[in-house]
Structure 1
């Protein structure tokens, strides 16, 4: 979608889109939003999903265990050099930036926080845009800062599908508003419609 074109606020009839991966970023209110979005996806969901949620670096993350209990998809914490597999939900570990290499393996980085965050949503989206071009979907949910806005803009400029949670539907609207201000996404939707959109994504041939 070109800059200046208003985002769609509902899915068009017959919507389908090919992708190699779905990437989802969230911050404040993100655990509940991610559970709402992911818990109903089937165990046979075809695409890999990678999530970045802002986490304190000084505490062990329990997100992988939480999502594994509530989601039908196999769930793993992303690790350095781990190959991406279809149908797996990956969770970014705390204290590291998460990136995707061109050979479809993950990389972890100890570089400085971006937008006060490590892992940073911007870093993940940027690396996916560089590795996959237009062949992924970038989804930005509730949050209290502007991390993810520039990464989503970069993804959209490269042709990736870009989706932002409707600020009126978000527990904390700052992050969705920042993304919409940075560059018009393809869709601005409530969680229930983002869930429907994800069910209409198909693996790239």
Structure 2
């Protein structure tokens, strides 16, 4: 498949850690099959354990959901899930690049690496959504998103199972909207409708 590059549609990156399965489900479930944006999903996972995240999410949304593979093309209406033990990069030709994580931090997969490469390749068409999670992963990545003209949403403290990641994002002063989990899907749909 030939990538639609330069991208003519938005790319939404959902990044999360602890408590992320429920948050991802509630964000992805309302998105329609003809959603005019590509979606990337990164949740911190233990690479030593088998992950069923892709299959679970595929059963809970109308989007086409698959595990990201090296060289995949970003496609509107499809969600690619970063596999455990890999980092995902968005390359200059709107394809996916996967890197082995090794045995040491950063968090795996790294939200910072994903968001930084998304920022420089997609610019104002990038939307980063920081959901529940421990730690501060994504803080650097959203700085890149904002620097390159993209948009950042973060889940609010009241609906986050763990407020580390969203709180760190909000602390940068670069988040465009702080939203309860119940309002994130609608905000994504509205944002994408404006930018598609």
Q: TM-score with structure 2 length normalisation?
A: 0.90
Structure 1 partner of 2:40: 50
Runs of 4+ in 1 over 4 A off after TM superposition: 111-115
Q: 1:178 to 1:113 in 2, by over 3 A?
A: farther
More helix by share: 2
Structure 2 partner of 1:143: 133
Structure 2 counterpart of 1:32, from 11, 19, 22: 22
Question: Counterpart of 1:118 in 2: which secondary structure?
Answer: coil
Confirm or deny that 1:190 pairs with 2:180.
yes
CA contact (8 A) 2:9 2:38 kept: no
Aligned CA-pair RMSD: 1.8
Measure the CA separation in 1 of the matches of 2:104 and 2:180. Answer: 27
Greater relative CO (CA pairs within 8 A, separation 6+):
1
Confirm or deny that 1:77 pairs with 2:31.
no
Structure 1 partner of 2:57: 67
| Deviation sequence 1:122-179 (CA, Å, 0-9, x none) | 0100010111112110110000110011111211121101111112221111111111
Measure the CA separation in 2 of the matches of 1:104 and 1:168. Answer: 36
Measure the CA separation in 2 of the matches of 1:95 and 1:128. Answer: 19
Structure 2 partner of 1:181: 171
Structure 2 alignment gaps of length 5 or more: 1-7
Deviation of 1:36 after TM superposition, in Å, equals: 0.8
Deviation of 1:112 after TM superposition, in Å, equals: 4.9
Confirm or deny that 1:202 pairs with 2:158.
no
CA contact (8 A) 2:156 2:166 kept: yes
Trace 1:5-44 onto structure 2 (pairs within 5 A). Answer: 20-44=10-34
Structure 1 partner of 2:153: 163
CA contact (8 A) 1:143 1:176 kept: yes
Measure the CA separation in 2 of the matches of 1:153 and 1:115. Answer: 20
Question: Counterpart of 1:84 in 2: which secondary structure?
Answer: coil
CA contact (8 A) 2:142 2:174 kept: no
Q: 1:41 to 1:140 in 2, by over 3 A?
A: same
Structure 2 partner of 1:103: 93
CA contact (8 A) 2:73 2:94 kept: yes
Question: Counterpart of 1:66 in 2: which secondary structure?
Answer: helix
